[in-house]
Amino acid sequence: MKKLINKTVIVTLVLTLVFSISSCEAIKNANNKQKGATIGTAGGAILGAIIGNNVGKGGNGELGAIIGGVVGGGAGVLIGNKMDKQAEKIETEIPGAVVERIDDGIVVTFDENSGVYFDTNKSNINAKSQETLNKLSDVFLEFPDTNILVVGHTDSSGKDEYNMTLSEKRALSVTDYLIAKGLVKNRFQTLWYGETQPKYDNATAEGRAKNRRVNVAIVPNDKMVNDAKIESGGN
């Protein structure tokens, strides 16, 4: 596969990611649900992929507090195989998306060139984006034992406060659309960072287009972890 970046680290399975209350501007603008949120299984590498190159710099490392145990051995292999299959299915169904296998999770990046995008200053799901999200929801229904983190970003055009609100509306639009397709609400956690976490250079038109993005991180839930332990004979 051309875009599937397999970075699976079998010995690493972190059970819970808790986003802490910190001095970061993104957290200041987050609601109470976000501040206390827990999203299944995600490690630092996944956090870096969905937030950007600034993770771990300038206090942004405080965004994630990783707790829980580590699952390795046969259970880790089983989990990795299941996540590989889901990543391959997403790449097959949505060839424009960037699909990465990172640790025990999957990170999918959508921008203006890859299937899910928003018109300028808009947060509604347009017709083209609906087609892509319909395919994505079908994959999520086929693989129910995962949790899903939706993260919204903007470029640096406009005021900070406006961009924070815009990224919130866009991330919630994607989350709400997927839930409306029949996915269980408690599988989702939604976050937004406005312009505060760019992955590309906002000084160029190309960089700004790539920063207007929505990331979806898919991580094993407790059921997948427990089933893998039982199947492998682990504890």
Regarding predicted confidence, which is higher, 36 or 85? 85
Domain residues for the domain of 39 are: 5-229
**Residue 168 belongs to some domain of the structure:** yes
Q: How many residues does the chain have?
A: 235
Q: Which candidate, 143, 149, 50, 131, places its Cα nearest to that of 93?
A: 131
Alpha helices, DSSP H, located in the chain: 25-28, 32-35, 44-51, 73-93, 127-142, 160-180, 205-211, 222-232
Q: Give the tens place of pLDDT for each residue, 154-204.
A: 999 999 999 999 999 999 999 999 999 999 999 998 889 999 988 889 999
Averaged pLDDT, 146-161 = 91
Output the pLDDT for position 221: 86
Q: Global pTM?
A: 0.73
Residue with tokens 């259970």: 75
Beta-sheet strand order (sheet of 65-70): 38-39, 14-18, 65-70
We report the CATH number of the domain holding residue 31 as 3.30.1330.60
Please list, in sequence order, all residues whose beta carbon lies within 8 angstroms of the beta carbon of residue 181, skipping any fewer than 6 positions away.
Answer: 133, 134, 137, 141
Q: Which residue carries 């707790």 as its tokens?
A: 67
Distance CA 155, CA 196 (A): 9
Q: Helix, strand, or coil here: 231? A: helix
pLDDT in tens, 27-63: 333 332 332 333 434 456 766 677 665 544 333 333 3
Window from 9-18, 108-117, 143-152, 222-231 with minimum mean pLDDT: 9-18
Neighbours of 66 (CB within 10 A): 13
pLDDT tens digits along 60-84: 333 332 222 334 678 888 988 999 9
147 in Cβ contact with 187 (< 8 Å): yes
Q: Is residue 234 part of a domain?
A: no
Residue 84 lies in a domain: yes
Report which DSSP code applies to 185: G
pLDDT for position 11:
30
Residue 235 lies in a domain: no
- pLDDT tens digits for 90-135? 999 998 888 988 878 888 988 777 778 887 788 899 888 899 999 9
Residue 5 pLDDT exceeds 50: no
User: In this model, does residue 8 exceed pLDDT 60?
Assistant: no
- Tally of domains within the chain: 1
Question: Hey, which residues does 65 pair with through a beta bridge?
Answer: 18
Do residues 106 and 99 touch, judged by C-beta distance below 8 A? yes
What count of other Cβ atoms lies within 10 Å of the Cβ of residue 110?
A: 23
Q: Does a structural domain hold residue 198?
A: yes
Rg (CA), the chain: 17
- In the predicted model, is pLDDT for residue 9 greater than 70? no
76 three-class SS: helix
pLDDT tens for residues 200-222?
Answer: 899 998 888 888 888 888 888 88
The C-alpha atoms of residue 92 and residue 105 are separated, in whole angstroms, by: 17
| Residues pairing with 192 in the sheet | 152
Domain presence at residue 216 = yes
Residue 139 located in a structural domain: yes
Residue 203 phi/psi, 5-degree rounding, is -80, -15
